[in-house]
Amino acid sequence: MKSKNKTKFLSVFLTALMLLTGCKSYNEADIKTSEFFAMDTYISISAYGENAENALDNCRKEIKSLDSQLSVTNSDSEVCRINSSKGETVSLSNDADRIITAALELSEKTNGALDISLYPVVSGMCFTFGEYQSPSEKALNDLLKNTGYEKISCKDGILTLPKDFKIDLGAVAKGYGSDRAIQILKEKGVTSALVNLGGNIALLGSKPDGSDWSVGVQNPFGEGYACIVKSRDKYIVTSGNYQRYFEENGKRYCHIIDPKTGYPVDNGLASVTVIGDGGLICDGLSTALFVMGEQGAVDFWKEQGDFEMIIVTEDKRVLATEGIFGDCPAAELGEVVKIEK
């Protein structure tokens, strides 16, 4: 059995690209960068300006604190307290309330493609602790009985999970972390920054020289990029089957689960990237659109339309919505097909 977690490598690569292409008519020494490990991934935040160092310090503290609050594997975390509640009501912190409320709204909107109650299935396959195992149908059906976002009640900061339910905020936590980082950077007066939480990118303003940031969307099949997006003041988040998976008997089991079947998604998509105005929303959407598959994601975009999207399929096609700006060199991938309304 083989397993892989490419997140760290991907992040380093992305950051290098973004900084190298950005430094021209300003003092490079004024760009401050903070790099650390949290939320199970490599994190890098670069900020430009007077208060940058102090802002970065605050961002690091906030993300580390969110990590210990939201981690499903830390027995002292709020999420673990929720998961041991055995049907009793739980009073939530502001952060957990905001994340869970927004995630449940997204579950409604995506017809259950995003579902934070899948933890019994995720842990049943041992994605959490790394001793992976492929699921039997019977085992999955049993695990699925204790899932279903619509059975979770969250109102005015009070959460009730049915007994034996367990939640996992892995599909939205990094996005929320990027929202908080951008908020802190703004409060500290920083106007130009790039936040990278393991491939969850948040852009504050433009590059210090006034031009757009360039963000590489990973080629899921190897080196290089499927697209290089030019953007500012946006969140760019990718969910992909190459980011975390295990292989057994030549079959790949990725970390994103189809809530309807309990099986790892295997629908011909390699990655979905969402570009929009909020970190948590983009993070939740990229996971949900990956579950929906090519047609489902395109239909959803046509209906909702308040974000942009890049899809890379397993047969190496690249589809991009009409509002994407940048270069899609897609060297060994096919021509980019525009998705239009």
Residues that bind Mg ion in the complex, under the rule CB under 5 A? 171, 283, 287
Contact letters for ligand AMP, residues 109-148 (x by CB under 6 A): -----xxx-x---x----x---------------------
Tell me if 278 contacts ligand AMP by CB under 6 A.
Answer: no
Neighbours of 270 (CB within 10 A): 23
Count the site residues for ligand AMP by CB under 6 A: 18
Cβ distance 283 to 273 under 8 Å?
A: no
Residue 242 binding result from Mg ion, ligand AMP, none, given CB thresholds of 5 to 8 Å by partner type = none
Name the region of 24 (left: φ>0; alpha: ψ -120 to 50; beta: rest): alpha
Contact letters for ligand AMP, residues 209-248 (x by CB under 6 A): ------------------------------x---------
SS3 content of the chain, % helix, strand, coil (to 5): 35, 30, 40
**Which class for 134: exposed (0-12), middle (13-18), buried (19 or more C-beta within 10 A)?**
middle
Q: How far is the CB of 306 from ligand AMP (least distance, A)?
A: 19
Q: Which is nearer to ligand AMP, 31 or 72 (CB)?
A: 72
| Binding residues for ligand AMP restricted to 291-330, rule: CB under 6 A | 291
Q: How far is the CB of 25 from ligand AMP (least distance, A)?
A: 36
| Binding residues for ligand AMP restricted to 157-186, rule: CB under 6 A | 168, 170-171
Tell me if 287 contacts ligand AMP by CB under 6 A.
Answer: yes
> How many Å separate Cα 202 from the centre of its chain?
11
Residue 79: strand, helix, or coil: helix
Q: Which residue is nearest to Mg ion (CB)?
A: 287
Residue 99 binding result from Mg ion, ligand AMP, none, given CB thresholds of 5 to 8 Å by partner type = none
3 state SS for 118-185? CHHHHHHCCCCCCCCCCCCHHHHHHHHCCCCHHHCEEECCEEECCCCCCCCCCCCHHHHHHHHHHHHH
Q: Looking at the DSSP assignment, which residues form a beta bridge with residue 239?
A: 272
In the complex, which residues of this chain contact ligand AMP (CB under 6 A)? 114-116, 118, 122, 127, 168, 170-171, 239, 255-257, 259, 283, 286-287, 291
